[in-house]
Chains A and B, each alone.
Chain A
Amino acid sequence: MAGPIVETVGVTKIYNRGKPNEVTAVKDASLKINEGSLAVLKGPSGSGKTTMLSVIGCLTAPTRGEVVILGKKVSKLPEKFRNQHKRNHIGFIFQHFQLIGDMSVLDNIVLPLLPEGISPKKRNKRADRLLEQFNLTHRRHFKVRSLSGGEQQRVAIARALINNAGILLADEPTAHLDSKLTGDLLDYIRQLKEAGHTILITSHDPIIYQNPMADQVFEMKDAHIISS
């Protein structure tokens, strides 16, 4: 298999630096994720998994250390270029989905394309493929608020894929699902992996980190990566 597509080198993230509520959420974390692999980041609550994912997903800059994505040191880039890189290569599936409830399914999915200046016709064409893939075509014009949890998660996945990103990051994707929906999700993950996506999932659910699909498992504890 190919070399690392995502690499972190000694990443440290400190929140509220210099204030009484200072927290070191991630300390000196280094990892390498190979192209096309399914990687899992596991660990107890509060160990820093979401923070690690946010740093890799360019939602926040690390306090120290480097994040390299597709050979580019994104943590050193100015916000605008970092954002550009993120838009082109990373899709993020948030733990609470973070959809806009009073907007339709379609409008939510195409949201990342608007600042790219892509015409409604083109973006709807792309969205239609994803709606089909995630069995949402019949919900196309529904307000997201009126959807079930499983449907909302599929909308969130479709939105993460609309930019044709190669790297997918998902934060606790099974946290709100029952066993049937968890099974469906695993199917979708398999499909995406087979389609060549590199996937990084944080989870403390054994069904994810003990899954035979998982190529790499990193364990976090007290802000450190303790094993890989």
Chain B
Amino acid sequence: MISGSWFERQKNIIDYSLQSLLRRRSKNILILIIFILLVFVVSSVLFITGSLTQEMMVTSNSLPDITVQRIVGGRQVNLTASYIPEIEKITGVEIVEPRVWGYFYLASLQANFTIYGMDLNLLEEGEYQKIVNWKNIPDQAEKNSDFRMIVGQGVFELLRDVEMEKAYLFYQPTWEKPIPFDIIGTFKTETELQSNDMMILQTEGARRVLELPLDEFTDLAVYVPNPEEIDNIALKIRRYFPELRTITKAQIKNTYSSVFGWKSAFVLSSMSAAIFAFLILIWDKASGLSPEEKREIGILKAIGWDTDVVLSVKFWEGLILSGVSSQAGILLAYTYIYWLRAPGFKEIFLGWSTIYPSFKLLPDADPKFLILIITIAVVPYMVVTIFPAWKAAITDPDVIIRNI
């Protein structure tokens, strides 16, 4: 009788588990594939939801505290500057900015884009400077031009495809001639989801493109330093001016997250039949032991293996199989969502918006969330597989040995 070390014993047990997985290759490969698919589907949905929600949150932080629109006949119409001093009088309001924006159909790209008017010189300072990739910094002569713009990365790539990455010609059939705009920068990816299809034009130029009269604005952005007061001030604005509609930042955020939450629930539930079928398949394959496996457990016990050793073999088998496949599933989902940009999948989530092939998702892999997925995948699998093994392992081996 030679007695070995504890370490050598664990190594032997793990070796045996690996060997045993390989011996039942066909069964285990099937489980592996189904398992990977299952984890892949679920984590893809969670990844895309998580990353879209996060991106929405990032972009919505730059939203005004209150957006004020004028409604006539149930439609949003332009408003004049006369509201600005009135609203600024309300206590708690810091500043009211009139905004110029609208949609424009770009015939050469065959798509609708959002056009914002803004004083681009402001973007060269402070906070904003960081979210723009500046192209060739315009010289002084161009600097005050009305015909400058900054575009989202998606727009930029599309423009590059039609060789207009330096300047774009806006055109409507009703116009005498096209209006050329210089592209002086693009937005960085942190704000990509919203800014992807966005074009920010120097205000005066935007008015020309959107055919907006000089004294009119699309809406008003109201800034309130104290978040506690936002709802109250919005209420006051609506009370003083019944023709105005207010949208708070919180309302927009809620809409975003509920849209994505709803969509992921929708996707998961429409896939639930497939997920359920996968679960049944795994259950069928993994739970319960084949007569062959029962016999093997009986043999191990009969030649002197203790019950806990037999169980630790089964434990390692389950841990290796489910651990490897859940990590592979997560890795595949990560690749699919973030590298391949979720073909066929993101459309479900972004169907309400104009989406371009260049759309990129930001990796948002919270380690806590990864651990959660792995736990959800591994623990039930271990329970399902260990239980029958335990039942077989506590049986006297002489009974198993007789049932050849």
**What residues make up the interface of A, taking CB atoms closer than 8 Å to B?**
50-51, 54, 59-61, 79-80, 83, 86-88, 92, 94, 96, 98-100, 102-103, 107, 111-112, 114-119, 122, 159, 163-164
Please give the distance in Å from A209's CB to the nearest CB on chain B. 23
- Verify if B16 is at the interface (C-beta below 8 Å from A): yes
Cβ distance B378 to chain A, nearest Cβ, rounded Å: 25
Contacting pair B2 A116 (CB below 8 A): yes
Chain B residues whose CB sits within 8 angstroms of the CB of A59 once the complex forms? 302, 396-398, 401
Q: Which residue of A lies closest to B296 (CB)?
A: A100
Interchain CB contact (< 8 A) of B1 among A54, A79, A99, A163: A163
Task: Give 7 pairs: A residue, B residue, CB < 8 Å, sorted on A.
Answer: A50-B402, A80-B306, A88-B1, A98-B401, A114-B9, A115-B304, A116-B9
Cβ of B122: which chain A residues have Cβ within 8 Å of it? none
Is B302 a contact partner of A115 (Cβ separation < 8 A)?
A: no
B241 within 8 A of A: no
Report the bound CA distance from A54 to B397 in whole Å.
9
B402 to A, closest residue via Cβ = A50
Nearest CB in chain B: distance from A45 CB, A: 13
Closest chain-A Cβ to B12's Cβ sits at a distance in Å of: 4
Label chain B's interface by main secondary structure.
helix
Q: Is the CB of A83 within 8 A of B398?
A: no
Q: Is the CB of B23 within 8 A of A117?
A: no
In the docked arrangement, what's the CA distance between A111 and B8, Å?
14
Known contacts A59-B396, A59-B398, A117-B12, A111 near B300 by CB under 8 Å: yes
A86 to B1, CA, bound (A): 11
Q: How far is the CA of A119 from the CA of B2 in the complex (A)?
A: 11
Check A117–B9 contact: CB distance below 8 A.
yes
- Which residues of chain B are within 8 angstroms of A87 by Cβ–Cβ distance? 1, 304
Closest-CB distance, A60 to chain B (whole angstroms): 4
For residue B404, CB closer than 8 A to chain A, the reply is: yes
Query: Is B62's CB within 8 Å of the partner chain A?
Result: no
Q: Cβ of A115 and Cβ of B306 under 8 Å apart? A: yes
B6 within 8 A of A: yes
- Min Cβ gap A83→B in Å is 5
Residues of B within 8 A of A61 (CB): 396
- B23 — nearest CB in chain A belongs to which residue? A102
- Given pairs A111-B299, A116-B3, A116-B9, 13 additional interface contacts (CB within 8 A): A54-B398, A59-B396, A59-B401, A61-B396, A83-B306, A98-B302, A103-B23, A112-B304, A114-B16, A115-B9, A115-B12, A117-B6, A117-B8
CB nearest to A171 among chain B residues = B401
Convert B197-229 into 0s and 1s, putting 1 for each residue whose CB lies closer than 8 angstroms to a CB of A.
000000000000000000000000000000000
Asked whether A114 and B12 contact (CB < 8 A) given A98-B401, A100-B296, A164-B1, the answer is: yes
A119 touches B8 (CB 8 A): yes
CA distance A119 to B305 in the complex (A): 17
Residue B13 contacts which of A80, A92, A115, A164 (CB distance < 8 angstroms)?
A115
Q: Mark B281-308, 1 if CB is under 8 A from A, else 0.
A: 0000000000000011011101111110
Chain B contacts of A118 at CB under 8 A?
A: 2, 4, 8, 12
Among A51, A98, A115, A116, which residue has the most Cβ atoms of chain B within 10 A?
A115
Given contact pairs A59-B396, A59-B397, A117 touches B5 in the complex (Cβ within 8 A): yes
Are B2 and A115 touching (Cβ within 8 A)?
no
Query: Which residue of chain A has its CB nearest to the CB of B2?
Result: A118
Size category of the binding interface on chain B:
35 or more
Query: What B residues does A54 contact at CB under 8 A?
Result: 398, 401
Nearest A residue to B10 via CB reads A117
Which residues does chain B contribute within 8 Å of A79, judged by CB atoms?
306-307
Chain A: minimal CB distance from B149 (Å) = 70
Taking the complex as formed, is B309 at the interface, i.e. its CB lies under 8 A from any CB of chain A? Answer: yes
CA distance A87 to B16 in the complex (A): 19
Kindly state the separation between the CA atoms of A187 and B398 in the bound complex, as whole angstroms.
28
Q: How far is the CA of A119 from the CA of B7 in the complex (A)?
A: 10
Q: For the complex, give the distance between the alpha carbons of A118 and B397 in Å.
A: 24
Option from B8, B299, B304, B401 in Cβ contact (under 8 Å) with A100: B299
Of listed B2, B7, B19, residue having the most chain A CB within 10 A = B2
Once the chains bind, are A60 and B396 in contact (CB under 8 Å)? yes
If A59-B398, A98-B401 touch, whether A112 touches B303 (CB-CB below 8 Å) is: yes
Measured in the bound complex, the distance between the Cα atoms of B299 and A111 in whole Å is 10
Q: How many Å from the CB of A88 to the closest CB on chain B?
A: 5
Do residues B303 and A92 form an inter-chain contact, with CB atoms below 8 A? yes
Q: Is the CB of A94 within 8 A of B302?
A: yes
- A115 to B8, Cβ gap below 8 A? no
In the complex, are the beta carbons of A115 and B1 less than 8 A apart?
A: no
Contact A83 B304 (CB under 8 A): yes
Q: Can you name the residue of chain B whose Cβ is closest to the Cβ of A112?
A: B303
Which chain A residue has the least Cβ–Cβ distance from B309?
A115
In the complex with contacts A87-B304, A115-B309, A96-B4 CB distance below 8 A: no
Chain A positions within 8 Å of B23 at CB level: 102-103
Within the complex, the shortest CB–CB distance from A227 to chain B, in Å, comes to 25
> In this complex, what residue of B is CB-closest to A88?
B1
In the assembled complex, how far is the CB of residue B13 from the closest CB belonging to chain A, in whole angstroms?
A: 7
Chain A contacts for B309, CB-based, 8 A? 115
Q: Least Cβ distance of B181 to chain A in Å?
A: 72
CA distance A99 to B298 in the complex (A): 11
A95 to chain B, nearest CB (A): 9
List chain B residues, Cβ under 8 A from A51: 398
Report B-chain residues with C-beta under 8 Å of the C-beta of A60: 396-399
Cross-chain contact B2 with A122 (CB below 8 angstroms) = yes
Closest to B22 in A: A102
**A92→B13 CA distance, assembly (Å):** 22
